[in-house]
Structure 1
Amino acid sequence: MSATDSIFLRPATPDDAEGIAIVRIDSWRKTYRGIIPDTYLDSMEVEDSMVLWRRVLTAASVTTSVFVAELDGDVVGFAAGKMLDEEKFGLNAELAAIYLEPEIQRAGIGRSLVRMVAAAHQAQGAHGLIAWVIARNKIARQFYEKLGAELLVEQSFNWDGMDLVEAGYGWRDLNIFKPH
């Protein structure tokens, strides 16, 4: 029995804000070291991120969804999505975040979390999903491509004063996430 056999996927609650913040910051520090300045990564604070996630999770918005992967009571991954006010590239929902601790990657947990986000937004009328990734994040790009996303665009953007390049991936048919 592997650690991933004990993973429980569920909708996030406000009590998950700290766990989500920790996973996000850990993931950024591991993934973006060498891509984003160390000073930025090292200055990321769990408390700041936790405040943001608590606000998201207490908003009770039907246009936002957040799901967590839990192992032994700890959040070890999460995915978040939202409906877009305006379509982008003909897509009306966004996979806004997906982060997993390394020990549960490549076990189907990310795919399941994306499936949950897609289903939640399809129920709200979404017909397509867009996801953004820093272009140099090859692992995330491969993940999206493996899930059938098409590369829509690569473009410059500014994140907290840093000039970066992002890649936009999209799924035009959310039914690909439904079990067959």
Structure 2
Amino acid sequence: MNRWVCVLRSAVPEDAMAVARVHVRAWQAGYRGLLPEEYLDGLQTLERADRYTFHLTGDGDPATTVALDRAETVCGFVTTGPCRDDESHAVGEVLALHVDPDRWGQGVGTVLIGAARARLAGAGFAEAVLWVLAGNDRAERFYRRDGWEHDGATRGEVVWGAPVDENRYRAILIDRSRKIEDHPEFSGTDIL
């Protein structure tokens, strides 16, 4: 059996366009029917790439890990940092996790969420939160399988004039942190 392998590494500024391509494609596929069609169809890779801050590497800055396939093409990414909600300093956050739709179901997301847990635990966070667009059943199943639980918090946003809700999920990191090297899909280094 030919096993698919990805390499993880920290994002660098030169990754911005490739990460933006994954980001836009993942939103257009994953949020179809949840966000306004006009908004999704109008997403632009260049505009998204200009928003990234991969050059900032301080303790309080978001950190992005990219997954590369054998051709060294970015096929997914995860961004972590301190929790943006009114939480204690012991809570980190998964700010974004997106996989190119062509790689869905191949283990990339599993490796990335493992890397996120490891990075956050390594930064001293005891637990973490993340927000999932209400109705995104695929994402909710994915996070529940990884041990995340909806903690009851919700928030409302407006995207292109359409109200949307998000549900917050929470996971304990210290007791459940997994060494990324233990993931069978993992073959890289330089993630922490």
Q: CA deviation at 1:84?
A: 2.4
User: Which ranges in structure 1 are unaligned for 5 or more consecutive residues?
Assistant: none
Indicate the structure with greater strand content.
1
Q: CA deviation at 1:3?
A: 7.0
Partner residue in 2 for 1:98 = 97
Provide the identity percentage.
24
Distance in 2 between the 1:156 and 1:86 partners? 11
Q: Deviations over 1:21-74 (max 9, x none)?
A: 110110010011111111000111111110111xx1011222322101112121
Partner residue in 1 for 2:17 = 18
Partner residue in 2 for 1:117 = 116
Q: CA deviation at 1:173?
A: 3.2
Alpha-carbon distance change, 178 to 87 in structure 1, aligned in 2, over 3 angstroms: farther
Q: Deviations over 1:97-134 (max 9, x none)?
A: 11112332233321221122222222222111101010
Partner residue in 1 for 2:65 = 67
Partner residue in 2 for 1:58 = 55
Alpha-carbon distance change, 16 to 112 in structure 1, aligned in 2, over 3 angstroms: same
| Greater relative CO, 1 or 2 (CA 8 Å, sep 6+) | 2
Q: Number of aligned pairs? A: 177
Partner residue in 2 for 1:166 = 166
Partner residue in 2 for 1:127 = 126
Partner residue in 1 for 2:140 = 141
Cα RMSD (Å): 2.2
- TM-score under structure 2 normalisation? 0.83
Distance in 2 between the 1:2 and 1:122 partners? 32
CA contact (8 A) 2:76 2:99 kept: yes
Q: Secondary structure at the match of 1:52?
A: coil
- TM-score under structure 1 normalisation? 0.88
Q: Secondary structure at the match of 2:75?
A: strand
Q: Which moved more, 1:62-71 or 1:12-21?
A: 62-71
Distance in 1 between the 2:175 and 2:105 partners? 22
CA contact (8 A) 1:86 1:92 kept: no
Q: Report the AA paired with residue 170 of structure 2.
A: G
Q: Report the AA paired with residue 65 of structure 1.
A: A
User: Which ranges in structure 2 are unaligned for 5 or more consecutive residues?
Assistant: 183-192
